Amino acid sequence: MPALKRKSAPKTKKTFKAPRSSQSSVRSPSPPPPPEPPQCEDVETDDNVFITIMNDCDITLQKNGNTCATATAAAQQKLNKNFARKDESFLEAFVQHVETYTDDNEAFVSLLLPTTVELPPECFSQADSQLQDSIIKLLLQCEKVQPSLIEMLLKKMPLYSENETLQFKNNPLLAGNGQGGIVNIPRLILNQMRWINYFVKPNEVAKQLLETSSVMNAQITCDIISFLPDVLMNLGDHSSLAKDLCEMLNTGSGDIAHAVFDAVANMSVSDETAEEIQELALSYLSTAEPEQIFHATKFLLDTCTSVEVGKRVIMALRPHLDYPELLQSFDSEDANIKLMTKRLSNSVFASMNSKPHIFQAWMAVIDLLTKDQWLPGDLIASIQLCNVLNVQQRKLASAQLVLKFKNALISKSCLTRCFQETAHILEDHHKCICKISQTLLWNNDQRLKIVASKVYILLLLHLDEGQRRDVLAVILEHIGSVTSARPLEVDSALKVLFRVARERPEYLENYFGSLCEMTEHLNCMTLQQVRLCLAVLSIMSTQVQHSNNNKNTEDVSCQVEDRLSSFTSSKVNIEVIWTAARFISNALNCDDEDELMTQVSTRLKTLNFHFRSDPNLWSLLFQEICVAAIGNEGYAKLSTSTIKQMKKLANDKFTNMISREPSTTQHPAQLDMTARFEVGSSSVRTICFSRSNPSHADNNILVSLCRFVRSVACLETSAEKSVVGFKWLFDHPLLLHDERYEEQECFNELKKIEACAVLDNLFAAINWYRELVSVFSWQRKDGTAGGSGGDDEELSRDVMRHLSRVCLLQSRVMRLLHKSPFYYTPAALDDSNHYPTGQKCSVIKSQVKVAGVDDDDDFSCVGLTSTATSKKSQASGKPARKPAGGKKVKESSPSYGFYAYNEQTCLVELSLDVSGLLRKPLQFGEENSADHLHLKELHLLLSDVANKMTHVQKRAKSTPFFGSRGVDVSKAFIKLDQVKTDDFYMRLIDLTPNLCTHIDAIVSKLSSDPQQREDDEHEDPYAASQFSTTSRKDLLNNEVVVRCYQYICDIFVKITAWIEANDNEGTVFLKFSEAVSQHQKDATQTNAVRNLFSYVERLLQHLSSTAIASSVVKLLCNILRIIEKLKGGEKRSRFRKIICKGCDTILQKDWSMTDTGPASSAMLASVFSVMLETSIDPLETVEQSLKIILCGIIKGDELNPFRSEEEEELVVYPCATKQNFNLVHMRCLEELVKESVKIPTAKSVSSRANDVIDLLLRWSESVKVFDLLIKVLKVISNKNMLGPTFKLSQAFIDNFMKKGINICEMMFKSSQEDVIRVLKCLQASTRQLQHLTCHSKVTKDAALTARVPTLKRSLETFVFRVKALLTLHNCHQAFWLGNLKNRNLRGEELVSQAAPSSDENVSGDDDDDVLDHSQSLSF
């Protein structure tokens, strides 16, 4: 280093001046003079510019530490004064001398280190320190020398790039720094620059800093880059510098990324530059390290200034926030990567939480994602959005996430991967996730409940102990709500615990005590809930026992047993289910088969002691084993070896219970018993009488035996994959009473106890055979039953034989019920009830049924139409039978005993597999064949399917109500409740070709039946002289054929209604259409939908009853709605014309000879509704229909609005009468209101005159039809018409005031006559409505009077709107008040003195050019 050039020093010593008393740093008013500094060899005494200035400021330069005789603030002021008087040459010389002086490292470091102030201690305040600002810091605050001095310092920084740290042991300021005198000179330089309050040339300094950073190491470079925003002070546009910084991301070290992003984020740049920088940052993400990804993401989110920018950035940023992919793409330590990804997600969450536009941008991006675009990172972001602080934002995000789950946009794999691989991120949001799951679980959508269960399972499986405790508390809270109106919430929560207990029981081991508290709610749980609850407790008790090394093995189980009650409020046997649950859990944990068999034997010995020979307990136990054999949600699935052992045991138990020798003792009811239907060595006694009441069969034993046979068959199927080995049950005879008791004469002579015993026996036999038919009708995928080969044929023959017996016995029971002289009510069967009950069925009673049966018929359709029954009674000369007490039997609509929905409670439910028998073709002959269905079997199967469809519809509309009184019909369909709605309808669609085949056979039978031709020739087809006994049987069979026809049509109607509601893509409808087309052999068109419509259209030519006619037109209407829905709402004119023509043809037919009046009225309502719905012009159809009907039923009446057209040749609707005209009138009003709602407002159409005229014409037509419907009330006004008229008329008038009156105002000047015509027509209707309100007061009808105020309010509002319209167009003189006289509905004046209703009249003056007298308006 070159030596400093020194000048000659004076001989005398240089002394320091005392500090001024005015300095703020000195508290004493008269401080003593400072001592004279000691003489040191290294004190700079040279007389150059730099040293001179320093001496003038009382600063002594020393290599081992500079000193100052005054406070640095005073020295700073002296420096500024000295530099203010100097010129540029002096300043350049000063900086040059400073640079020369700093060539010595020790001197340079001394300038950078703090200066020591040499003042007495009493001169310092408490806030002051003896060490104050360094020399460099003082100089940098001087604006004159600041730029040159900074340039000099930055030139010196590269000199220390290779060796940044130097050691200075002699400097007292560095000796005590703990680093051994080591100091980092570049960082020390930067620290001095950080204290600059104001940069004279910030842009030049920034460029110099950036150039200097290019040769420094990464750490110093980061410090320099981080210092740039402080230098620029956010003044001006720094786009160029920001771009240069971003270029360093690609050329420099990766360690400087965070400094670059932080610096650029604090610079002012243009919008174009900001977008370019964001693109550079996004491209940098593809090659960045995890730490740099965090900084880049934070920068991108921080630089988003609007929602649109945020959407663009977030959409590009999404792939880089896929946290599972980030975890797999780096090879660092697992803990570090997880920590970095969590830090990254927290940064994203912080931006959502603090910046509303970022929240909105995330919401918009997530809303646009499709199912294929969803990533685990998107799901995490959506969850974070639901956990922000703002309540409104949180609600919006939660609703969005629920909607995504509801639309199935988030796949199961995405959800699972999110929790499995990034649980460390979600653990901070576990409470928010629990709240989201609660919302999903409380929703009525079953798909959302499944998602909620999945989320709860993932939370329990992948979160830590602390978070798992919180999640478990929420799940137990769900279980505690068992008494609320959301029972499915409990099911889902229990399924979650069951799943976790099966997969990871150790996760729940520490919470066993909390889980035991679930037993407090067992009393309110259903059977499925009890199964799940006890299964969880049994699994956990086994786990706790194994964890305790098998110590106190029974203590844990006893702890649970002590909490259990005997039965729930729904009569579920808790003891049996707990026994089964313990057995199943032990079997699952036992790997050794021999040890398992030993446990089974030991357990069964204990059960034999407890259960003995109770069929109810054993059947319940084996039912639970069957649930485990199937692998249902109630238990874990058992192994095949365990199932085989249980099957053998169940088979033996079942055989011992049902195979008994015929009893030699006489029947309790004094009846002779006999083996029926078959003769064998042993008998199956299914008829077990109660010990407490020997006169009645014990239905509980019957239910137990039916449950037993189902359980054994299920175990047989699970073990052997077939029930062929179990078909020995078919060979056993049935022990019943002697058949002679079923004859009419013998039955009437029986005592009440004996007659009831006969009916009990028949009911029990019916239910036994129904159970056998269900058990042996299981299906394979191809729809065939049983095993294969000969066994299959033999099994099918046995099933058909038993099905025929069911039909035979049901027919006989209904005949005996009808002829019984005693009051009898069968007991309702309740297979869900585990506790013996004696509940009676109030639906079927012997004395209230009207059945058209014949004494000699083994098969008849019970409950035929009351018309047929009455005609037969008249033909035989006998009066119709009356019930006891002489009360008149009310004629009702057709009631089919044992086939109606409400009558299924006393019968064993047929499984859904039985419907597979409909695949067999129909045979009308008497020959028995296992390959064909007879009429009676077809009727039974179709009625069962129809009842099941009714139950499925009711199940979908409402949730089950617990605790209801009386007989619960839903309990008659327990097996059906285990089948999903979609699966149920898809199985029926698979049967569609077979049902179409049955329709063709039925239509062919009805077309060729001679009885149909005789009906046209004979006025009374039921005359006794016309028919023999054979003819009467043919008549009954013909009624059954018609009923089967109607069942199939109703089934198709319900299938298409379900397709319309659930099939949005049309795939199911196409499958249904193809199934119908598959049946048609002569179908030449390739379009399956057209084939379907053509096939149903042909049915219009073969309508045997009004019910069939209604079903066929409803089916056509459903098909039309589906087609138009799939076509985007486009109307299909051709199909609509076909349906309307068919409806018109049906209405023109005379149904009086085939159906009763109520049936014809029901048909009129349904067919007329379809005709209006499918009409191309509904208003024209309404007007034409009213003309036809009114000219037919009030022909010649002077008040008939169509009196002038009565002479025309019009068609006639014979089914329309004055009694049922209210149905037509109400439907016309509904259609009119619907059409008025469809008319758009004037603002919604273009301003062209033609468009507005079209609207006026539409309102003109609507008002014309409305006036016609109101005028009809003068002629026909039964009570059923007035109520709907009040309601619908008000709706129409309100719609007119909302839309029509504005159009009248717009068109008044240009189309004055048309507007007046509309208002005048509506004025006549409103006047009649006023008379209608008077009529309601006169008749004192409370229901009608309640509607009067709202209607009058609408009428008055209409009057004032008309007044405003006339005033607007300078016609207010034509408006005055008036009184309407009280009149009846026919317009006749009433003599009543009641106060007349005041209203306003509008009329024109005689000489008025706008309104003449012929256009007067009065209201």
Mind listing the pLDDT tens digit for each residue in 636-656?
788 888 888 888 888 888 887
Of 151, 153, 184, give the one whose Cα is nearest residue 167: 184
Q: Give the model confidence (pLDDT) of 362-386 as tens digits.
A: 999 999 999 889 999 999 999 999 9
pLDDT of res. 7: 36
The sign of the CA dihedral 1215, 1218, 1223, 1225 is positive
Rounded-to-10 torsion of CA 622, 624, 625, 631: 150
Range in 482-486, 721-725, 740-744, 957-961 the model is least confident about = 957-961
Q: Which long-range contacts (CB under 8 A, 24 or more apart) does 594-597 make?
A: 596/641, 596/642, 597/645
Question: Which range scores top for mean pLDDT: 537-551, 952-966, 1397-1411?
Answer: 537-551
What is the reported pLDDT for 698?
75
Kindly tell me the burial class for residue 30, based on how many C-beta atoms sit within 10 Å of its own C-beta (0-12, 13-18, 19 or more). Answer: exposed
In this prediction, residue 689 carries a pLDDT of 62
User: Does position 5 have pLDDT exceeding 50, yes or no?
Assistant: no
Nearest Cα to 1176, choosing from 1221, 1228, 1126, 1235?
1235
CB count within 10 Å of CB 879 equals 9
Instruction: Give the rounded distance of the alpha carbon of 1116 from its chain centre.
Output: 30
Helices (H), 838-934: 866-876
Q: How far is CA 1157 from CA 782, 892, 1104, 1109, 1153, in A?
A: 46, 11, 16, 15, 10
Which of these, 997, 1022, 1049, lies nearest to 1163 by C-alpha position?
A: 1049
State how far the Cα of 26 lies from the Cα of 10, in Å rounded to an integer: 32
Q: Which two tokens stand for residue 620?
A: 């319940």
Looking at the DSSP assignment, which residues form a beta bridge with residue 922? 933
Q: What is the pLDDT of residues 1143-1197, one digit of tens each?
A: 999 999 888 888 888 888 899 999 999 999 999 999 999 988 888 888 888 776 6
Q: Tell me the pLDDT band of 1401, cut-offs 50, 70 and 90.
A: very low
Instruction: Note the pLDDT of residue 1005.
Output: 87
What are the distances in angstroms from CA 332 to CA 112, 153, 326?
41, 40, 11
**C-beta of residue 37 within 8 angstroms of C-beta of residue 118:** yes
Q: Comparing 970 with 881, which gets the higher pLDDT?
A: 970
Averaged pLDDT for residues 213-229: 83
CA distance 1041 to 935: 7
How does the average pLDDT of the chain come out, rounded?
Answer: 78
Amino acid identity of 513?
G
pLDDT of residue 458 exceeding 60, the answer is yes
Task: Quote the pLDDT of residue 230.
Answer: 82
Rounded to whole angstroms, the Cα distance separating 1366 from 1372 reads 5
Q: Residues 926-931: contacts with CB within 8 Å, 24+ apart?
A: 928/801, 928/804, 929/800, 930/793, 930/796, 930/797, 930/800, 930/801, 931/796
Element (H, E) at 1418: strand 1417-1418
Instruction: Tell me the residue type at 1052.
Output: F
**Confidence class for position 1229, pLDDT limits 50, 70, 90:** very high
User: What pLDDT is stored for residue 1138 in this prediction?
Assistant: 92
713-770 pLDDT, tens digit each:
888 888 887 887 777 777 777 778 888 888 888 888 888 888 888 888 888 889 989 9
Which tokens go with 544? 């706790």
Only one residue has tokens 């056998």, namely 772
pLDDT tens digit string along 63-87? 778 888 888 788 888 888 888 888 8
Give the pLDDT score at 847: 54
Q: Who contacts 782 (Cβ-Cβ below 8 Å, separation ≥6)?
A: none
How close are the terminal C-alpha atoms of the chain, in Å?
Answer: 117
Helices in 195-331 by DSSP H: which ranges?
202-213, 218-232, 239-251, 257-265, 271-285, 290-302, 307-317, 323-329
Q: How many CB atoms lie within 10 A of CB 1287?
A: 16
Return the pLDDT at 4: 33
Task: Give the rounded percent of residues in the chain with a pLDDT score beyond 70.
Answer: 78
Q: What is the mean pLDDT of residues 946-968?
A: 70
**pLDDT (0 to 100) of residue 123:** 59
The CA distances from residue 631 to 574, 638, 1153, in Å, are 20, 7, 57
Residues 6+ apart with CB under 8 A from 257: 249, 284, 288, 291, 292, 295, 296
Q: Which of 906, 649, 909 is nearest to 775 (CA)?
A: 909
Residue whose structure tokens are 């506790």: 835
Show the 3-state SS of 9-59. Answer: CCCCCCCCCCCCCCCCCCCCCCCCCCCCCCCCCCCCCCCCHHHHHHHHCCE
Q: Report d(CA 391, CA 710) in Å as an integer.
A: 55
Q: What is the pLDDT of residue 166?
A: 73
101 in Cβ contact with 5 (< 8 Å): no
Residues 186/220, Cβ–Cβ less than 8 Å: yes
| Phi, then psi, of 767 in degrees rounded to 5 | -65, -35
Q: 999-1023 pLDDT, tens per residue?
A: 999 998 888 765 444 444 444 433 3
Q: Is residue 568 a contact partner of residue 524, using CB atoms and an 8 Å limit? A: yes
Q: How far apart are CA 273 and CA 258, in angstroms?
A: 19
336-343's contacts with Cβ under 8 Å and 24+ in sequence apart are 337/290, 338/424, 340/290, 340/291, 340/293, 340/294, 341/290, 341/422, 341/424, 341/425, 342/424, 342/425, 343/294
Question: What's the pLDDT tens digit per position in 768-789?
Answer: 899 989 988 875 444 444 444 5
Give the residue, 735 or 499, on which the prediction is more confident.
Answer: 499
Instruction: Work out the burial of residue 156: count CB atoms within 10 Å of its CB; fewer than 13 is exposed, 13-18 middle, 19 or more buried.
Output: middle
Cα pseudo-dihedral 1200, 1202, 1205, 1210, rounded to 10: -100
Q: What mean pLDDT do residues 1120-1130 have? A: 87
Question: Which of 458, 222, 426, 425 is closest to 337 using CA atoms?
Answer: 425
* 123, 179 contact by CB (below 8 A): no
**Which two structure tokens, joined as six digits, stand for 121?**
């201690």
CA distance 1119 to 1053: 9
Q: In what order do the strands lie in the sheet with 114-117?
A: 59-60, 67-68, 114-117, 131-134
